[in-house]
Amino acid sequence: MPKLPANPIADLTDRFFYRANIRLKLFYAMLALIVVLIVAINGAGHYIFTRDFLGYLNEQAQQRMEDMVPRVEQAYREHGSWEFIRGNPRTWFELMKPAIVEHNGAAPAPGPILTPSDLTGATLRFSLLDANRKFVIGYPNVGPDARLRPLLQDDTIVGWIAQTPFENVIGAVDLRFQQSQFLAQIIIAVVAIMLAAFMVVRISGVLMKPLARVARATHRLAGGDYAIRVEVESGDEVGRLAQDFNQLAMTLERNEKLRREFMADVSHELRTPLGILNGQLEALEDGVLQPDEQTIRSLKSEVDHLNKLVGDLYDLSLADAGALAYRKADIDLAPLLRDAVQIYEERFRKRGLALTAHLPGTMPAHADGARLQQLFNNLFENSLRYTDRDGRMELHCRLDQQQWILRFDDSEPGVDAAALARLFERFFRVEASRNRASGGAGLGLAICRRIVEAHQGTISAQASPLGGLRVTVTLPAGFADQKGQP
């Protein structure tokens, strides 16, 4: 025997709704909405019709009862009791007939006089009771809900007319009307379902096609086709979705390009010092080179270059993962900058470059001194590598609205305006005069941005008045216990 599902209703729902495509889900939703509306409208209509129609019937019967009261009272006055009518339905029906009224002197049309209460059968529900409310003639099933109208004779109650109200409609005509209403409801439901199907087809042409294009493009993007784009045809949510998809595809394409370039650059940067080290070590083994001070210094220089590259890669990976450790404390930035200037001043001089710094006496801040030293060293190293001989670098520091503004300006060559906005991106390097021919793998400025952002500061690059690059760093001023007041 086939195994039955644990929950048949859940399995049916999963099969016909959750696994259905958007077009079918839209059709199911519209169909359910139409069914609910039809049921609600028909239920409300049936309730209102029944209440109002029965009320109309009872109102007509009440009016007819008021019309016959004078005639019944007159008949009692003539006979002195109700014995003349007891067991005499013909006399009873004669008393219930409506009065003949002439209009403008014209005689009424031949034939029986009928009123709405006659057509609805209201008169068949009238009963005559004596003064003690004992049944005399008429409708025998007088219930407690019957409407009673007293019959008076010289201000004395001599009897009652009882009208039993309508509680439901069960006549043949009424049943035919209900059947016709039910048939009309079925026709309306069928037309509504067909209309819903037509609307789904029309809506799918406007809405589903763009979504289908985005879905196909997403599938190709997931497969590695980063050049895929989706045509934007509207400004609604679907259009914005297409725009966001195109932006995502552009970002992934750019990141993939930068990743490949970065891997090529890193492999080149690693290959060069490793090749030099390997060649020098082989020369030492063969006796071509002597293990003198100059050879040892050359080997150490290549090892330092490798350590710098590997260290930068490690720091960048930690910063991207949010695991780069910071030990912030109340420090003075001025000594850090003076130490960095002192360290690089001799190296700048050897390359024919001038290094000047304009620093205030103290620069209080709450920061990680080691990471900021790394930041300053990277910026000095960047200018040292990429500034032409006989150039210069200037450092200016000032306080502006509880922010330390540090400006590192160097002389030519400059950076293209298009590359300035991307200068601090990971894997990005300017392929001009500032390239790997001067050293570096393009990681230093990316690390600088992460260090500055970790200190709630900003870093940006502009064209320098000296003809080269200006790097502007802002850092919060003041010690922690001074709440930002230096």
pLDDT of amino acid 474: 95
Mark which of 301, 317, 333 sits at the end of a domain.
Answer: 317
Looking at the fold, whether 150 and 40 belong to one and the same domain comes out as: yes
Give the model confidence (pLDDT) of 314-338 as tens digits: 776 666 666 566 788 999 999 999 9
Mark which of 167, 192, 225 sits at the end of a domain.
Answer: 225
Looking at the fold, whether 18 and 138 belong to one and the same domain comes out as: yes
pLDDT of amino acid 65: 84
Is 2 within the bounds of a domain?
yes
Mark which of 317, 344, 378 sits at the end of a domain.
Answer: 317
Looking at the fold, whether 168 and 25 belong to one and the same domain comes out as: yes
Which ranges of the chain have pLDDT less than 70?
1-23, 45-46, 49-54, 98-123, 166-178, 205, 207, 265, 269, 312, 316-325, 426-442, 480-486
Looking at the fold, whether 272 and 383 belong to one and the same domain comes out as: no
Is 276 within the bounds of a domain?
yes
Looking at the fold, whether 401 and 334 belong to one and the same domain comes out as: yes
pLDDT of amino acid 391: 92
Give the model confidence (pLDDT) of 18-40 as tens digits: 566 666 777 777 777 777 887 78
Looking at the fold, whether 248 and 200 belong to one and the same domain comes out as: no
Is 366 within the bounds of a domain?
yes
Is 230 within the bounds of a domain?
no
Looking at the fold, whether 363 and 392 belong to one and the same domain comes out as: yes
Q: Considering the entire predicted model, what is its pTM?
A: 0.46
Looking at the fold, whether 70 and 219 belong to one and the same domain comes out as: yes
Is 46 within the bounds of a domain?
yes
pLDDT of amino acid 210: 79
Longest dimension (CA), the chain: 158
Q: What is the 3-state secondary structure (H, E, C) of the chain?
A: CCCCCCCHHHHHHHHHHHCCCHHHHHHHHHHHHHHHHHHHHHHHHHHHHHHHHHHHHHHHHHHHHHHHHHHHHHHHHHHCCCCCCCCCHHHHHHHHCCCCCCECCECCCCCCCCCHHHHHCHHHHEEEEECCCCEEEECCCCCCCCEEEEEEECCEEEEEEEECCCCCCCCHHHHHHHHHHHHHHHHHHHHHHHHHHHHHHHHHHHHHHHHHHHHHHHHHHHCCCCCCCCCCCCCCHHHHHHHHHHHHHHHHHHHHHHHHHHHHHHHHHHHHHHHHHHHHHHHHHHCCCCCCHHHHHHHHHHHHHHHHHHHHHHHHHHHHCCCCCCCCEEEEHHHHHHHHHHHHHHHHHHCCCEEEEECCCCCEEEECHHHHHHHHHHHHHHHHHHCCCCCEEEEEEEECCCEEEEEEEEECCCCCHHHHCCCCCCCCCCCCCCCHHHCCCCCHHHHHHHHHHHCCCEEEEEECCCEEEEEEEEEECCCHHHCCCC
pLDDT of amino acid 18: 58
pLDDT of amino acid 10: 58
Is 105 within the bounds of a domain?
no
- What is the count of structural domains for the chain? 3
Looking at the fold, whether 152 and 256 belong to one and the same domain comes out as: no
CA–CA distance, 54 with 64 (Å, rounded to integer) = 15
Give the model confidence (pLDDT) of 64-108 as tens digits: 888 888 988 898 898 888 998 888 888 888 888 765 443 344 444
Is 356 within the bounds of a domain?
yes
Is 126 within the bounds of a domain?
yes
Looking at the fold, whether 203 and 135 belong to one and the same domain comes out as: yes
Q: What is the CATH number of the domain that holds 341?
A: 3.30.565.10
Residues 6+ apart with CB under 8 A from 137: 85, 86, 87, 88, 89, 92, 127, 128
| Residue 203 lies in domain | 1-98+115-225
Q: What is the CATH number of the domain that holds 282?
A: 1.10.287.130
Looking at the fold, whether 257 and 356 belong to one and the same domain comes out as: no
Looking at the fold, whether 312 and 357 belong to one and the same domain comes out as: no
